[in-house]
Amino acid sequence: MDNMTQHLKKAEEAFINGQYRVAMLYYGNLLTANPSNKEYYIKVILCDIALEDEQKAQALFDYFTLEKEKDYFNAINSTLDIIEAYDGNLDKLNRLLSKLNMPVEAIEAITYDDFKAIVDSKKSFTEAFEDIIYSTKVIITQKDDFVDFIKNLIDNNYYDTAYNYIENSIPTFSFDPQIQELTKELKDKLGHNENQNR
């Protein structure tokens, strides 16, 4: 299975499972690589609609999927007509699409599960984290996810960032024995780095 097919499979699965921001990321990457592909264009628009009206977006997704089996080009045109009627105009959606050469950065906040999906798609924690670090907030509500995230930051030498995340974490996390152990490890590493820099 080539990279393009894998991206499409993950995009479809994410959309069907209601992970619209993740689906938008994958479809956005596909559209960036194939800017004339109207199906990817439609799917990005459906992800955007889903963030406001999930039922409408899923219905349009199902409609397009069924229609394209009968007549691909008719499915494209009729779905675009429905979308245009739904939105009134495509200005907002075109502004969204103009950002798709940097799709991750168009997302202001993502869940930890979404972030892990990005890591999986890029096959690199470092690459995924550096894509989002300046513009996107990772929302973590579960302690196990938080521990996993901090460990990954440490393993990839983001010591200062990991320490900042711990300092700004939900108060109940900071008193957890695992978090305290990671904090001690970070202090040791940060101290070691300072000594090396002298």
CATH at residue 63: 1.25.40
Of 103, 135, 170, the domain-final residue: 103
Of 62, 61, 27, 28, the C-alpha closest to 46 is 61
Q: Which domain holds residue 71?
A: 3-103
Quote the distance between the C-alpha of residue 110 and its chain's center. 6
Computed over its alpha carbons, how large is the radius of gyration of the chain? Answer: 20
Of 53, 86, 103, the domain-final residue: 103
Burial of residue 143, with CB atoms counted within 10 A of its CB: 0-12 exposed, 13-18 middle, 19 or more buried: middle
The pTM score is 0.48
Which pLDDT value is given to residue 43? Answer: 92
- pLDDT tens, N- to C-terminus, the chain (198 residues): 567 788 888 889 989 989 998 888 888 888 888 888 889 989 988 998 888 888 888 888 988 988 888 888 888 888 887 777 665 444 544 554 454 443 443 445 667 787 888 888 777 888 888 777 655 667 777 788 888 988 999 999 888 888 887 777 655 566 778 888 888 888 888 775 554 444
Q: Do residue 87 and residue 172 come from a single domain?
A: no
| Structural domain total, the chain | 2
**Coil, helix or strand at residue 116:** helix
Quote the distance between the C-alpha of residue 58 and its chain's center. 19
Q: Do residue 122 and residue 91 come from a single domain?
A: no
Q: Do residue 97 and residue 155 come from a single domain?
A: no
Which pLDDT value is given to residue 119? Answer: 83
Strands (E), the chain: 109-111, 137-139
Which pLDDT value is given to residue 79? Answer: 85
Can you tell me the distance from the alpha carbon of 118 to that of 7, in angstroms, rounded to the nearest whole number? 11
87 in Cβ contact with 64 (< 8 Å) = no
**Greatest Cα-to-Cα distance within the chain, rounded to the nearest angstrom:** 70
Q: Do residue 56 and residue 125 come from a single domain?
A: no
Q: Do residue 54 and residue 68 come from a single domain?
A: yes
